[in-house]
Amino acid sequence: MENNLEVIPIFFAVDDGYMPFLAVALESLIDNASKNYYYSIKILYTNISEDNKHKINKYQRQNVNIEFVDLNYYIEKVKDKLYTRDYYTKTTYFRLFIANLYPQYDKAIYLDSDITVLGDISELYNVDLGDNLIAAAPDDVIQTTKVFQEYAEKVVGVADYKKYFNAGILLMNLDEFRKFNFQEKFLYLLETIKFTVAQDQDYLNRLCKGKVKIIDKGWDRMPIATDDMPKEDIKIIHYNLGEKPWRYDNIKYQEYFWKYAKKTEYYDFICKVKENYTEQDRFNDIQQYKNLKALAQKESDCVGDDRLNRKSNQTIEKSKERLEILEKIKHLEESGVFDVDVEDDPPTIPLGPEDIDYLRTSKMDKIKSKMATKMAERLVNDLLKDNKLIIKDIKGLENLQSVKSGAIITCNHFNPYDSFTVEKVFRISGQSKNKKLFKVIREGNYTNFPGIYGFFFRNCDTLPLSSNKETMKEFIKAVDVILKRGDFILVYPEQSMWWNYRKPKPLKNGAFNFAARSKVPVIPVFITMEDSEFVGEDGFPIQEYTVNIGKPIYPDANNSEKENTIMMRDKNYETWKEIYEDFYGIPLEYDIIEDKEII
């Protein structure tokens, strides 16, 4: 008892880099906690500055005590056994030692610091544990991702993935931990099993198996959760993995984080963290998540499966439509015809000059463009997370970053998502801070494409071609303005899309004439691909892309516009050819059959 109030021990484990977010967690916890308890908050650490300690100590109240506990001495004897990866530090394991560190407590709460508390934390403490080791909520990441469900059951060994709990919010039965010899068993397990996916969380799920009280998911609500939950039922929001509002916009439940962040001394610092979070950082987040899924899959593949009533994996039959498209591509190549699309485009509705403002000068056009761009960005990130779009590598990013003027970006065209890939790379390069990337598209895609993609075609900084001569005059004017003011334009100079076609096709002059007329460079981008381990709904392997960015091709001041057009086109093709032959290790040859009829 402290001041005649019952003591609730609460533990955090953090390092210096997470102190601003610990402040947000404490601000929200104390704001919503019952005044009828005394909260003894222990912050376990190995590296925290005195300045940060001073700032956090300001959260002490009459019924709130804060103590910093340096665990360097304690962790020294086992630090070499504690495996970490990516952004994790050894502090993540500290929760596993609490029972032995604090024999005076029978139970305690452990909390991650990437949280916002909306409920009364004393209600969690008063959950009846019985003889269970832990009370915790199911992990929403596991519940929403098939590969992690397999991993939880096959590798970690929980009977049902729905009972695999998240270790970021725990009510710990410390008395039972000690009776169970938990720490001794954990250290033994470290010597015999290496869990590499969720690390300490996997060890907890393995060791506590059969002795876990599953509590309401409102106590560990994650933005990734797909089900709806009334706001009044949400007690703690856990911004797990990459779902962090101090990195991204439009994170579910972000308003609660910012409500409390504004009350802390760290608010300006947190805003700068978000402001300085680059596209490269965001891309790395996606890659880390994909790597984590791949690691879970690899671990699962190494373990037998004796679970009953398990449905066998069924081979997805290859799409008949895709097979027909591949046959069309083969026939067109044999005929030497490369500028014909093999898939049906939407019927063209002529685009008149009165139907479009290419430069989007009206207020409504600007609003739509901004909204569409944000929606498309979220879609691309979802595609990347779900391995429906896979960017394996980016080569020559410095070639894109080096261009200060306007420029034409050329790219091979083989998939409806390849423009998403170029847009993502454009953002990763940092050019999007000061420039826009416009995309030249077909007339029918602008005037007659349905649904959300039609909305993107009309509003995501697109430049539709037109069958109307007067409209094309406006198109040319807009291209000149865009290039001269320093923005980029993506053009597909092959003039056709062939699904997953790996060779560069002969190039048309248009893109290079734009560059020659405006005296700007061409940035040649050629995307190479490999089969991934993932199979799409069409039965074909999803491709892993390597984005190869060649050196910018500048017009020669001594050449005429026509001469520069031809010169830049030929250099672009040679760049693509060189990338193709180097990546695939074969010479570029077309399977042309003389006198082959075109179907």
Q: What does the pLDDT read at residue 309?
A: 46
Q: What is the pLDDT of residues 248-262, one digit of tens each?
A: 988 999 999 999 999
Cα–Cα distance measured from residue 183 to residue 93, given in angstroms and rounded to the nearest whole number: 11
Cα–Cα distance measured from residue 4 to residue 324, given in angstroms and rounded to the nearest whole number: 79
Over pLDDT 70: what percentage of the chain?
A: 92
Q: Is the pLDDT of residue 263 over 50?
A: yes
Task: Give the residue with greater pLDDT, 457 vs 1.
Answer: 457
Q: For residue 109, list its beta bridge partners.
A: 10, 171
Cα–Cα distance measured from residue 151 to residue 426, given in angstroms and rounded to the nearest whole number: 35
- Rounded to the nearest 5°, which phi and psi values hold at 127? -65, 135
Cα–Cα distance measured from residue 220 to residue 237, given in angstroms and rounded to the nearest whole number: 6
Cα–Cα distance measured from residue 424 to residue 373, given in angstroms and rounded to the nearest whole number: 12
Average pLDDT taken over every residue of the chain: 88
Q: What is the pLDDT of residues 96-125, one digit of tens each?
A: 889 888 999 999 999 999 999 999 999 999
Q: Token match 């003027």: residue?
A: 405
Q: Are 183 and 233 in contact (CB under 8 A)?
A: no
Q: What does the pLDDT read at residue 485?
A: 96
Q: What is the pLDDT of residues 209-248, one digit of tens each?
A: 888 999 999 999 999 887 778 888 999 999 988 889 999 9
Burial class, 325, CB count within 10 angstroms (exposed 0-12 / middle 13-18 / buried 19+): middle
Q: What does the pLDDT read at residue 91?
A: 62
User: Could you give all domains of the chain from N- to C-terminal order, each with its CATH number?
Assistant: 6-275 (3.90.550.10), 320-584 (3.40.1130)
Q: What does the pLDDT read at residue 286?
A: 82
Q: Dig out the tokens for 327 from the structure.
A: 């046959």
Q: What does the pLDDT read at residue 292?
A: 82
Q: At what angle do helices 469-484 and 510-518 cross, to 10 degrees?
A: 50
Q: Dig out the tokens for 358 from the structure.
A: 């290419």
Q: Are 400 and 549 in contact (CB under 8 A)?
A: yes
Closest CA to 342 of 410, 415, 409: 415
Q: What does the pLDDT read at residue 163?
A: 87
Closest CA to 412 of 336, 482, 508: 508
Task: Give the residue with greater pLDDT, 65 vs 198.
Answer: 65
Cα–Cα distance measured from residue 350 to residue 348, given in angstroms and rounded to the nearest whole number: 6
pLDDT bin (cut points 50, 70, 90) of residue 597 is low
Q: Is the pLDDT of residue 48 over 70?
A: yes
Cα–Cα distance measured from residue 116 to residue 258, given in angstroms and rounded to the nearest whole number: 9
Cα–Cα distance measured from residue 164 to residue 138, given in angstroms and rounded to the nearest whole number: 6
What is the residue type of 103?
Answer: P
pLDDT bin (cut points 50, 70, 90) of residue 315 is low
Q: Are 131 and 174 in contact (CB under 8 A)?
A: no
Q: Token match 């009828």: residue?
A: 36
Q: Are 46 and 90 in contact (CB under 8 A)?
A: yes
Q: Is the pLDDT of residue 81 over 60?
A: no
Q: Where are the beta strands (DSSP E) in 465-517?
A: 488-491
Q: Are 125 and 29 in contact (CB under 8 A)?
A: no
Q: What does the pLDDT read at residue 100?
A: 87
Q: Dig out the tokens for 189 from the structure.
A: 């397990």
Cα–Cα distance measured from residue 483 to residue 64, given in angstroms and rounded to the nearest whole number: 61
Q: What is the pLDDT of residues 379-413, one digit of tens each?
A: 888 888 778 888 888 999 999 999 999 999 999 99
User: Could you say which DSSP state residue 135 is in?
Assistant: E
Choose from 199-213, 318-332, 335-349, 378-392 the range with maximum mean pLDDT. Answer: 318-332
Compute how many other C-beta atoms are within 10 angstroms of the C-beta atom of residue 14. Answer: 26
Q: Name, in order, each residue with C-beta under 8 angstroms of 202's C-beta and a sequence gap of 6 or more.
A: 155, 156, 195
Cα 31 to its chain centre, rounded Å, is: 32
Give the dihedral sign, CA 258/261/266/267.
positive
Cα–Cα distance measured from residue 422 to residue 410, given in angstroms and rounded to the nearest whole number: 10
Cα–Cα distance measured from residue 457 to residue 461, given in angstroms and rounded to the nearest whole number: 8
Over pLDDT 90: what percentage of the chain?
A: 57
From residue 152, alpha-carbon distances to 194, 203, 306, 489 in Å are 14, 11, 14, 46
Cα–Cα distance measured from residue 248 to residue 516, given in angstroms and rounded to the nearest whole number: 39
Give the dihedral sign, CA 189/193/199/203.
negative
Q: Are 247 and 282 in contact (CB under 8 A)?
A: yes
Q: What is the pLDDT of residues 10-45, one digit of tens each?
A: 999 998 889 999 999 999 999 999 999 999 999 999
Q: Is the pLDDT of residue 55 over 90?
A: yes
Average pLDDT over residues 55-60: 96
Q: Are 505 and 577 in contact (CB under 8 A)?
A: no
Give the dihedral sign, CA 211/215/219/224.
positive
Cα–Cα distance measured from residue 97 to residue 78, given in angstroms and rounded to the nearest whole number: 11
Cα–Cα distance measured from residue 565 to residue 576, given in angstroms and rounded to the nearest whole number: 17
Average pLDDT over residues 443-468: 88
Q: What does the pLDDT read at residue 385?
A: 77
Closest CA to 570 of 555, 548, 592: 555
pLDDT bin (cut points 50, 70, 90) of residue 194 is low
- Rounded to the nearest 5°, which phi and psi values hold at 468? -95, 125
Q: What does the pLDDT read at residue 313?
A: 46
Question: What pTM was estimated for this model as a whole?
Answer: 0.64
Q: What does the pLDDT read at residue 337?
A: 93
What is the residue type of 295?
Answer: L
Flag the least confident range among 76-85, 150-159, 487-496, 516-525.
76-85
Cα–Cα distance measured from residue 57 to residue 68, given in angstroms and rounded to the nearest whole number: 9
Closest CA to 503 of 521, 535, 529: 529
191's enclosing H/E stretch is helix 182-192
Which of 259-285 are b and which e, b meaning 16 or more Cβ less than 10 Å from the residue's Cβ? ebbeebebbeebeebeeeeebeebbeb
Q: Is the pLDDT of residue 488 over 50?
A: yes
Q: Name, in order, each residue with C-beta under 8 angstroms of 280's C-beta and a sequence gap of 6 or more.
A: 428, 430
**How do 541-549 and 390-395 pair as beta strands?**
parallel
Compute how many other C-beta atoms are within 10 angstroms of the C-beta atom of residue 31. Answer: 12
Cα–Cα distance measured from residue 5 to residue 378, given in angstroms and rounded to the nearest whole number: 48
Q: What is the pLDDT of residues 505-540, one digit of tens each?
A: 999 999 999 999 999 999 999 999 999 878 888 999
pLDDT bin (cut points 50, 70, 90) of residue 310 is very low
Q: Token match 């992990």: residue?
A: 139
pLDDT bin (cut points 50, 70, 90) of residue 84 is very low
Flag the least confident range among 293-302, 472-481, 572-581.
293-302
SS3 content of the chain, % helix, strand, coil (to 5): 45, 15, 40
Q: Which SS3 state, helix, strand or coil, does residue 538 take? A: coil
